[in-house]
Amino acid sequence: MSEPLPDPRDLLPHREPFLFVDRLVDLVPGQSVAGTWKLTGEESFFAGHFPGRPTLPGVLMLEALAQVGACGLLAEERFRGKLPLFGGAEKVRFRRQVVPGEELRLDVEILRLGSRAGKARGTASVDGETACGAEITFVIVEG
């Protein structure tokens, strides 16, 4: 029997209102990770983005991918207590709107991982339809 997956709050330093990962659904520490973010419509950014047509801001999809990726990194023993920071994003593409009531599936594969930096590829999707994809670089600092 496999162990239950950790709660993202036990791995990430992020807290409401800037925690965009509800739960992890798959995890291979230091290699790959998947999580979800259910958008209720109560999130404050929907009121202004856009009135009458609420849409998840693309940069928050990118941040959600980074947070899930950080879970995959911080679940590895040698990185516990560290803080992964955004180093950059490349090949970012937004393919569909995400609206209240939808659940975002966040899949991240860690492509390269050193002691102080790395690179990952992530895809955010809704019901199997890609909403956002990107390559993310990160640096790892003392927490």
Question: What are 13-55's pLDDT values in tens digits?
Answer: 999 999 999 999 999 999 999 999 999 999 999 999 999 999 9
pLDDT digits (tens, 9 = 90+) for 113-141: 999 999 999 999 999 999 999 999 999 99
Per-residue three-class SS string for 42-110: CCHHHHCCCCCCCCCCHHHHHHHHHHHHHHHHHCCHHHCCEEEEEEEEEEEEECCCCCCCCEEEEEEEE
Going from the N-terminus, what domains does the chain have, and what CATH number goes with each? 13-142 (3.10.129.10)
* Residue 2 confidence (pLDDT) above 80: no
Catalytic residue list: 49
Residue 1: the pLDDT is 53
pLDDT, tens only, 48-101: 999 999 999 999 999 999 999 999 999 999 998 899 999 999 999 999 999 999
